[in-house]
Structure 1
């Protein structure tokens, strides 16, 4: 038995294993750049689309479902890494403010179509990044849907490393 491998894997956090696997499918520099742009765009578009779902009852406002999803996923990230969870919470607050402004200024229909447009264009970018022209590997979420949540944290972790911050 290799005790070094065992000890390093036993001290390694699950988020580190997720990132290692995700990074293995994202080695091409152009594909990584595409992900840095498209993953946050997809995340925002999902927030926008959820914002457009009518809120239940009269106690809740537009954005209820988006807020609920952002809270649930921020808790997922926080459990994986406190600093990533806090960073994602900040990102969600900014996305929520932008989305609320767009909704209040242009209305639900415009927000819906903008969300759909961003979603489609960003996914086209993602698949171009994974095409044989660039990465040549299928997206990670084809093996495990959890990678749909790992992508945004992976992008944020890249930013943290660039800023010299630990996650």
Structure 2
């Protein structure tokens, strides 16, 4: 780590490393679609796990995971943490609507389908045709959490917001 790195926040270091593996514009656009889709599909998959006991409702495990992830993001950056909370609330509302309206089996099938298609998209973006680099999470699983924040940070920059 050099002197300029020590002045950066840890989230900026994560983003710099993540960005180095995502330079191709097509791969970046694929990630802007597929990363949120994967995030939603994981929330939906967790939603389908039965809640323990009688005190908890469907979505308990998803809510627990969203809370833990929101705390991770908030610790890295308050603005990103709050933005991710908004994203989690919207994804949670969509998931609850799908679960209540169509049932857990349909939600599970939809979540699996989105998960598979979005990961195929991710690997296409990293293929030799576009990026030509391995996905970041293959070097460190933390990048599975960094990806959604990286996409949100790109949106913030586009809107002229600081994170």
Q: Aligned residue for 2:107? A: 111
How many pairs were matched up? 163
- Could you tell me which of 125, 145, 162 is aligned with 1:149? 145
- Could you tell me which of 41, 64, 81 is aligned with 2:60? 64
Pairs within 5 Å for 1:1-167: 6-167=2-163
C-alpha distance after superposition, 1:19-39 (max 9, x if no partner) = 000000000000000000000
- Name the Cα RMSD after superposition: 0.9
TM-score, normalised with respect to structure 2: 0.98
Q: CA deviation at 1:8?
A: 2.4
Distance 2:42 2:62 in 1: 8
Give ranges in structure 2 of 5+ residues lacking alignment.
Answer: none
Q: CA deviation at 1:7?
A: 4.0
Give ranges in structure 1 of 5+ residues lacking alignment.
Answer: none
Query: SS of the counterpart of 2:23?
Result: coil
Larger radius of gyration: 1
**Runs of 4+ with deviation above 4 angstroms:** none
Distance 2:127 2:144 in 1: 18
